[in-house]
Amino acid sequence: AQSVAQPEDQVNVAEGNPLTVKCTYSVSGNPYLFWYVQYPNRGLQFLLKYITGDNLVKGSYGFEAEFNKSQTSFHLKKPSALVSDSALYFCAVRAYNTDKLIFGTGTRLQVFP
């Protein structure tokens, strides 16, 4: 079965510290991977994507993600967290041979001053 897992419901980090939000996937074929962010009472916003090429993908607001094929992971990272990064983060993968996205259950990131 094709799926994406976000093993942490919540991640807490102090402002200025590096952050990681984890995502692992299970999909046939080459994965198309995405990260979206949702601020309170808003829709999801696209952050970044991996389709092919360099395993380190850079996206909006200073976020980056590292694709690791052997570990089937696509973790979201940022070198220095901001309080304004506090939000709900979703990992998504394209279901094989379709045009549909499978979303994870989301990870709430809380950055403390």
Partner 1 sequence: DAGITQSPRHKVTETGTPVTLRCHQTENHRYMYWYRQDPGHGLRLIHYSYGVKDTDKGEVSDGYSVSRSKTEDFLLTLESATSSQTSVYFCAISERLVVDTGELFFGEGSRLTVL
Task: Tell me which residues touch partner 1 (CB under 8 A).
Answer: 32, 34, 36, 41-46, 49, 51, 90, 94, 99-101, 103-106
The residue type found at 98 is T
CB of 16 to partner 1, least distance (A): 29
Closest distance to partner 1 from the beta carbon of 50 (Å): 10
- For residue 99, the minimal CB distance to partner 1 (Å) is 5
Beta strands per DSSP E along 8-50: 10-14, 19-21, 24-26, 33-38, 44-50
Handedness of CA 46, 50, 51, 56 (dihedral sign): positive
Q: How far apart are CA 40 and CA 54, in angstroms?
A: 32
Closer by beta carbon to partner 1, 15 or else 72: 72
Q: Which is nearer to partner 1, 13 or 106 (CB)?
A: 106
Minimal CA–CA distance to 76: which of 18, 35, 17, 16?
Answer: 35
- Least distance from partner 1 to the Cβ atom of residue 40, Å: 11
Given the complex with partner 1, which of 60 and 80 has the nearer CB atom?
60
